[in-house]
Amino acid sequence: MPLPNTKSFAAGLLFSLPVLAAASVSAFAADAPRQAVISVIGEGRATMAPDMAVLTFSVVKQEKTAREALDGNNKAMSDVLAALKKAGIAERDLQTSGFSVQPQYRYPQGTDGQQLPPELIGYQVSNTLTVRVRDLSKLGGIIDQSVTLGVNQGGDIQFTNDKPDSAMEEARKNAVADAVARAKTLASAAGVKLGNVIEINESGPRPQPMPVMRAAMMKTEADAGVPIQGGESSYNISVNVTFAIAQ
């Protein structure tokens, strides 16, 4: 009987060893018990007094021609910008956030009740400005003067903080403490012992202050002060925490 080729036999043996090893590792992983864990979501909140306001308002002008509407709008907005700069608002805190030129139509009806073609009656130009006011003591006066000079639409105010890092850090600590408390409650209710933290994730977008006030400025007496209340800014953070269950 011919003897087997020793080189072919050795090669086949070497090839089969990694396959067997891989199969053994997979079988071991499949048989390994899953780690027991407790996963919770912690909520944290912190507040601080605002030190800055973001004000958004518009100058809207309507005239028979687009040129007339634009000229009137430009004059009013230029006066507003000059007053804001004189009040100490820096260039970096002034930003045009919207501009539009829109035709205005009238929709007449005929004597028989049928809709007639629309008639062009003029043009409306709107210029929207976003202003960061870093000295809140000037906010009421800025609103009052801006309306006097031509602002006639908008008036959204969002109070915020230039550097909210300390509040956000406190909110994170509160969120983790809340997660730990929740996990301990669950572990106690289940009759198990809470182990070490396995994973912590901060969920959601970067925290932003909650809008505190929105004020309409459509009608304001020129000689009247605008009462402003800043309230407080609220920062909310959520964390996902996974704990091991001690064996």
In whole angstroms, give the CA distance from residue 177 to residue 48: 20
Residue 149 has pLDDT above 50, yes or no: yes
Which pLDDT value is given to residue 67? Answer: 96
In whole angstroms, give the CA distance from residue 67 to residue 5: 98
Region 75-101: mean pLDDT is 94
Chain centroid offset of residue 217 CA: 25
User: The CATH number of 37-47+166-206+239-246 is which of 3.30.110.170, 2.60.40.1180, 3.40.30.10, 3.40.50.2300?
Assistant: 3.30.110.170
Tell me: the pLDDT tens digits for 215-239? 333 343 434 457 777 778 888 999 9
Residue 241 has pLDDT above 90, yes or no: yes
Rg over alpha carbons for the chain, rounded to the nearest Å, is 34
In whole angstroms, give the CA distance from residue 27 to residue 237: 42
- Contact call for residues 167 and 51 (beta carbons, < 8 A): no
DSSP 118: P
Residue 158 has pLDDT above 80, yes or no: yes
Of 8 and 77, the one with more pLDDT: 77
In whole angstroms, give the CA distance from residue 75 to residue 103: 20
Longest dimension (CA), the chain: 119
In whole angstroms, give the CA distance from residue 209 to residue 233: 5
Residue 109 has pLDDT above 80, yes or no: yes
Residue 101 has pLDDT above 80, yes or no: yes
Q: Where are the domains of the chain?
A: 37-47+166-206+239-246, 49-162
Of 235 and 16, the one with more pLDDT: 235
Nearest to 183 by CA among 94, 95, 103, 245: 245
Which pLDDT value is given to residue 6? Answer: 52
Helix axes 66-86, 139-149, angle to 10 degrees: 150
Nearest to 125 by CA among 146, 153, 148: 153
Tell me: the pLDDT tens digits for 30-42? 566 778 999 999 9
- Contact call for residues 119 and 170 (beta carbons, < 8 A): no
CATH superfamily of 49-162: Protein of unknown function (DUF541), domain 2 (3.30.70.2970)
Residues 6+ apart with CB under 8 A from 204: 237, 238
Which pLDDT value is given to residue 221? Answer: 40
Model pTM score: 0.65
Which of 1-5, 151-155, 201-205, 208-212 is predicted least confidently?
A: 208-212
How far is residue 113 from each of residues 49, 105, 116, 121, measured CA to CA in Å? 59, 18, 9, 21
Residue 79 has pLDDT above 50, yes or no: yes
